[in-house]
Amino acid sequence: MSVPRVLIVDDEESIRRTLREILEYEDVEVDEASDGDAALAKLRERTFDAVLLDIKMPKRDGIEVLDTCLEVWPELPVIMISGHADIKTAVEATQKGAFHFIEKPPDLQHLLVTLRSSLEKGKLVTENRRLRQTLIQQQGGTLTPMLGKSDAIRSTKDLIARVAPTEARVLITGEPGTGKELAARWLHHQSPRREGPMVAVNCAAIPAELIESELFGHEKGSFTGANRQRVGKFEQAHGGTLFLDEIGDMSMPAQAKVLRVLQENKITRVGGRRTIKVDVRVVAATNKDLRSGALEGTFREDLYHRLSVILLHMPPVRERTGDVPILLEHFSSQLSTRNGLKPKTFTRQALELLSHLPWRGNVREISNVVERLMILSESDAVTASDVQRLVLPGSGQGQEFSEMLITSEHLSDFRDKAERSFLQHKLDINNWNISRTAKQIGVQRSSLHTKIKRYNLERNA
């Protein structure tokens, strides 16, 4: 059985010393912090089972530290330490989410009973979370919170909250890995249809010849291999929400049929004659520019307007770098639960390095990197050296820059290679929208076309 680890946070050395002596006698591992800033630094570097937190401290007081704990480590039990004059504040802190409070000078028995209760609660919460995660995985998924405090993610959550209670169709745009399906699930969860089914279809993963059968179903014998009747996704989503992911990859014939369903609220199975009424709210998503596709004839303009009553853009991580530490903490907790381990924290230097990575794969890439660090780092806390050893060599940018320095003999060679890499990156993140890329980097479209030909730039598959 592991020894519980407790952090004591108080600006009075005598109080810290007294609490340390009491707890170490009870076989508790103790660490100390003399102010709020030092406490948060310790919490980011190590994992604790409980915190004893003074209310009145210099720099950052206990209430501010509590607020951060509730945001970043919501399952960590926090016991407030209060002088007699701070009792009212201590009570308010427990109403906010603190586990309990003890008065100064601490009564030995009351302290130990309160601490044991908090540690037992922490164990129960951890075990329940592990069991809940296991059950959720067996049932095929869960509703993950939309994490972050940046203006970009706040605006996204506010728009979802306004739109979800309506029947308006929503088109979610954004780069791969930004959480478009998560946004769709929150739209469903906050809607009057929440008790109905949420059915997701990845249009890019289904061959063009099978997409109609997948969406509308088919009758037995309607084509070779149709040896039984199949109910399509529109019928499965009746009374709920149908999420059409990567709709920009849907074939034109299938687009025409989806448009008709949106107009009539009826479907006909492949090979069938009977029309079936469906009551479905359609939410679609894409990482392509469907407006340009409509102008170029690769996507139906009338379908685009039907789907895009509300446009919801998921911001890439590079536009919300302040949320990276929150995402790292979340995935650390989630992955440790899945693997039956304690979550690992990140040192300040590690967070600094990770916050400045390009994160081209967005939130999905963060999850993968955290899993790598969780498995391969050897201490309780992920350090800057762990990041440099396990993440930066494979991140691409640093390695590419180093290769440019080594292989370029003249300044003009280095400049050309750097310009080529820069243009490739900007075109990729803009889905090769020439006009938008040219405007973003401050050049004429004709100039950008010339550079694309000069450097033989190609769209990544």
For the stretch 35-46, pLDDT in tens is 999 999 888 777
At 355 the three-state DSSP class reads helix
The owner of tokens 């596709």 is: 293
What is the pLDDT at residue 192?
92
Phi, psi of 27 (to 5 degrees): 60, 45
For 252-308, what is each residue's pLDDT tens digit?
Answer: 988 999 999 999 999 888 888 888 888 999 999 999 999 999 999 999 999 999 999
Detail the DSSP E strand segments found in 182-289: 198-202, 241-245, 266-268, 275-277, 281-286
State the Cα–Cα distance between residues 258 and 269, nearest whole angstrom.
12
Calculate the alpha carbon distances from 171 to 48, 127, 185, 215 in Å.
43, 39, 13, 18
pLDDT at 309: 95
Q: Is 431 exposed, middle or buried (0-12, 13-18, 19+ CB in 10 A)?
A: middle
Torsion of CA 432, 437, 443, 447, to 10 degrees: 10
Contact predicate 452/308, CB 8 Å = no
**Please, which contacts does 437-442 make with residues 24 or more away whose CB atoms are closer than 8 Å?**
none
53 neighbors 64 (Cβ within 8 angstroms): no
Spans in the chain with pLDDT lower than 50: 1, 132-141, 394-398, 402, 461
- Polymer length of the chain: 461
To the nearest 10°, report the CA torsion of 271, 274, 280, 285.
20
Element (H, E) at 294: helix 290-296
Which helix (DSSP H) or strand (DSSP E) does residue 311 occupy?
Answer: strand 310-313
Contact 281, 320 (CB under 8 A): no
Please confirm whether the linkage preceding 105 is cis (ω < 30° from 0): yes
Structure tokens at 409: 């003999």
Q: How many angstroms separate the CA atoms of 5 and 23, rounded?
A: 10
pLDDT, residue 436, reads 87
Q: Can you point out the beta strands (E) in 34-77?
A: 50-54
Q: Which pLDDT score is estimated for 408?
A: 66
Residue with tokens 């448009």: 259
d(CA 414, CA 403): 10
In this structure, are residues 148 and 327 in contact, taking their beta carbons and an 8 Å threshold?
A: yes
Pairing of strands 275-277, 266-268: antiparallel
Q: What is the pLDDT of residue 401?
A: 54
pTM (two decimals): 0.57
Q: Which amino acid, residue 118?
A: S
Burial of 453 (0-12, 13-18, 19+ CB in 10 A): exposed
Burial of 14 (0-12, 13-18, 19+ CB in 10 A): exposed
Give whole-number Cα distances, 29 to 7, 99, 196, 403, in Å. Answer: 9, 20, 49, 48
Sign for the CA dihedral angle at 403, 407, 411, 412 comes to negative
Side by side, the strands of the sheet bearing 5-9 are: 29-33, 5-9, 50-54, 78-82, 100-103
Rounded distance between C-alpha atoms, residue 31 and residue 45, angstroms: 12
